[in-house]
Structure 1
Amino acid sequence: MQRCEVVLLGTVLTSFDPWRSPLCTCPRKYTINPYTGCSHRCLYCYTTAYIRSRESKPKQYLNHRLRRDLKYIDPRFPVDMSLSSDPYPPEERILGITRAVLELLLPAGLRVQITTKSDALLRDIDLLSRYNVAVSVTITTLDDSLARRLEPNAPPPSNRLKALEILKDHNVPFSVRVDPVIPYLNDDENSLRELVREVASIGAKHVVTSTYKARPDNFARMVNAFPELKAKWMKLYYPGGKIKLGYAYAPIQLRRRILWPVVDEANKLKLTYATCRENLTTPKYFRAPSCDGTHLIPSRIELRSRTAERIRLENFFSNSRV
């Protein structure tokens, strides 16, 4: 009975298709979220519009479903973990679910990018330094006190910077997400340039940045935490901004201005750089093989021949079915 229940569950390794959104510049890739919801409880989180839980809950029968999904993927495309939750919430230190996923993906020779705000990924440095992995770490500010208000349960930026140093020491390539840049809060030009200089000095090769996009739920949390900015944000986003795909965007002139310090400093330091879902794709704001940093994933081991052949054959027979 239990086996039947597992078979009926949906996929956990899903195709991320950038063509579904006119604003997305990501390359084709797969995504997996070991957890549903996120215990970091970042105020600006957009996923709470459709995932109500503010706690990280492990997905049911994850490894069984992942083994099944691996039979049907195209190994040419990388796997991004995670896009709608953090793969290293506080619960991961005890549960080890993300590590179990990595132990399935990496020895098979698949290319993986880990997107996180946590220094807890250092527990898995043995895997990260051995296989085809790059890391993308989000740092919205160098100010630990401000980050504590914005990202209450996430490790402070100072811890994340130390984690970058250890990644560098172990030859694990990494990019940094300066995302979101929030008008009137963390958009100071000098602070943003300092942030880019700091991560570049450690060894970042790529920076991606984006502005805060308002949705009713995250906007309510933001104005509750920063009531002194409510009037300014209301003017920018409601009705001053434009609604795109359910998100309220600040005016384009403002978005260009507050993202410029990030991309300009990255350009000066000879980093690749990109903006995310901003419709800013000229070389002034976007100069990189990929916006998300997946171009940094190294090729340390080849795709296991048996895995590759099995995937090729199963894809062939699957596509040949009437």
Structure 2
Amino acid sequence: MKERLEALKLEALQELSGVQSQQELNDLRIKYLGKKGPLTEVLRGMGALSAEERPVIGQVANDVRAAIETVIEEKQAAYQQQETETRLRAEMIDVTLPGRPSQQGAVHPLSKVIQEIEDIFIGMGYTVAEGPEVEQDYYNFEALNLPKDHPARDMQDSFYITDEILMRTQTSPVQVRTMEKRKGEVPIKIICPGKVYRRDDDDATHSHMFTQIEGLVIDRNVRMSDLKGTLLQFVQEMYGKETRIRLRPSFFPFTEPSVEVDVSCAMCGGVGCRTCKQTGWLEILGAGMVHPRVLEMGGYDPKEYTGFAFGMGVERIAMLKYGIEDIRHFYTNDLRFLKQFLHL
């Protein structure tokens, strides 16, 4: 039986030396070490051996099994290494190739201007207030001294959802809601940024949707000179210390007196050019002292408190700041336009 085991060992090693594939290796493992293999048959016949022969033959059988398993494991490791190398070569990335640069984004010019305006007014002690874009007619018009039959509504009547619900035409409703919430407490110093919607033609200077920032101050002894000083501080922070302003009488139902605010043209320094139509001035916002009726409807006694309010279109501010000629550029998602503001 010892000779048979030695012959089995030589036979198995010889066959293993000629293996050409992992499948052949698996087949030989089953052939020699499987339950029906010759080595197992030899071990099953050990019961017929004498007590002296059994340990000797058992040791020889274990040595034969160990020798065959060693060769199989070595070849298995070699095949696995070869497979790994083949896969690495197939999946190799050439790191010497130039990379694909990712496109760098930038803050939208309108968002940037809103942030600048907010920073300026926060620096003057204002807080930022927000409100719903879908608004009640009461807050959008009536509480701002614009009853349902007021002719000034014609300029703003817009996208109605019901007879009493519409897309807000201005951010002034935030001012009314703030006054209601404060219940007569002073001071109020807020700015209200957000989108507004109006029935309007889309052209180079108008859009049915645009962004507005309004401001409101209410306290005792608030005067028109405070409004002028605030707006002068704002435009000089936004456009430069040399910028001047002028106030022209105007009419708004929610302020009395009301003014249009112009800034000196940055293109010509106020001398007169094509941009300012040779006037030296550019209109940027409307403002005025809060109408006593608006104060009353907001819960404030106009005999004790006064205030001022102002409103500006962010697109208008941005167009003047960056020399943009068409408001529609802000909303067309044209990368050629947006990339100009990448490093501003």
Please give the range of the TM-score, normalised by the shorter of the 2 chains: under 0.3
User: Per chain length, whose mean CA-contact separation is higher, i.e. which structure has more relative contact order (CA < 8 Å, sep 6+)?
Assistant: 1
The alignment's TM-score, normalised by the length of structure 2, stands at 0.20
Q: Please say which structure displays the higher CA radius of gyration.
A: 2
The alignment's TM-score, normalised by the length of structure 1, stands at 0.21
